[in-house]
Amino acid sequence: MTAGHRLVPILLVISTVMLAASPYVIDAAPYESTMGLVQRIFYFHVPNAMLMMVASTTCGVASLLYLMRRRPTSDFVALASAELAVVLGTITLLTGPLWARKAWGIWWDWDPRLTSTLIMWMIFSAYLLLRRFGGAGSEVLSAAVGLFGAVLTPFVYWSVDMLKSLHPKTTVVATLPRPLAIPMIWCLIAFICFYIAVLILRVRLESTRATLERTYLLLED
C-alpha cells in the first residue's frame, strides 16, 4: 500500500467531517445583502465548479503526456480526472439553476458561462462514453478529446469577464468580505480533500483493472 493509498481514508474522514459541519459554519456567516439566504448555495456550487476546472485541466495535461510518452499512469490519471470533471460538473450544473431560479427568476439562461460549462460537461461525458464503448485503442482518441475539453477551461473561466453575462464575475471570490470568505474556504478545503481522495481511488481502480488484464493474458498463455 503506497503513501497515497494510506492518505485516502484520512482525506475522506476530513472531507466528511468538514462537509457535515459546513451547514453550521455557513449558518454562522452573515447574509449577502441582495440575495439573502439563496446566496448560500454559493458555498457548495463554487468549490465544485472550481474543482471541475481543476479536473478538466488535469485531464488535459495527463492526456497530453499520454499522447507524448504513452505511459499508462498518465492515461489512468486522465480517465480519473475526466470522471471527476463529470461528477463535479453534474453538481455544478444542478446547483446553479437552483440558485438562478431564485436570484434571476429563471432556471437556465443560454449565457456564455452556463453554456460553455454545459459544453465542457458534455465533452467529458463523451470522453467517458468513448472509453466505455470505444473498444481497443480508444485511450488515444479519448486523450485527444480530453485535451480538447481542457483547452475549453480558460474560456469557461474568463467567459464571464470577456462576454456579457448574467453570471457573477471571476472577481467575486477574490473580493469576498472576510465573514463570507470563511465558509467558502471551509467548503473548498472539504471538497479538495474529497477530490484528492477520489482521484487516488479512481487511479487505483484503473491500475487494478490493468493488472487484471495482464493476469488474464498470463492465464491464457
Partner 1 sequence: MRHLRRLLRAGAVLIATVALSGASLVAQANDGFELAKAGDIDRENLPATPFVFAAYAIVWIVVTVYLLTLWRRITKTEREVASVAARLEQQRR
Q: List contacts with partner 1 (CB under 8 A).
A: 12, 19, 23, 36-38, 40-41, 44-45, 48, 87, 90-91, 94-95, 98-99, 101-102, 194, 198, 201-202, 204-205, 208-209, 211-212, 215-216, 218-219
Q: Is 19 exposed, middle or buried (0-12, 13-18, 19+ CB in 10 A)?
A: middle
Q: Which is nearer to partner 1, 70 or 209 (CB)?
A: 209
Q: Cβ 81 to partner 1, closest distance in Å?
A: 14
CB of 92 to partner 1, least distance (A): 10
Name the residue nearer to partner 1 (CB basis): 6 or 102: 102
- The set of residues, in sequence order, having a beta carbon less than 8 Å from that of 177 and lying 6+ positions away, is none
End-to-end CA distance of the chain: 29
- For partner 1, which is the closer residue by CB, 113 or 147? 113
DSSP 109: -
Q: How far is the CB of 183 from partner 1 (least distance, A)?
A: 13
Nearest to partner 1 of 84, 147 (CB atom): 84
CB 111 to partner 1: min, Å: 19
Place of cell 481522495: 197
**Min CB(198)–partner 1 separation in Å:** 7
Query: What is the spatial distance between Cα 107 and Cα 118, in angstroms, rounded to a whole number?
Result: 14
Closer by beta carbon to partner 1, 67 or else 166: 166
Sign of the dihedral defined by the CA atoms of residues 197, 200, 206, 210, in that order: negative
Tell me the C-alpha distance between 1 and 113, whole Å: 42
* Cα angle 38-42-44, degrees, rounded to a multiple of 5: 115
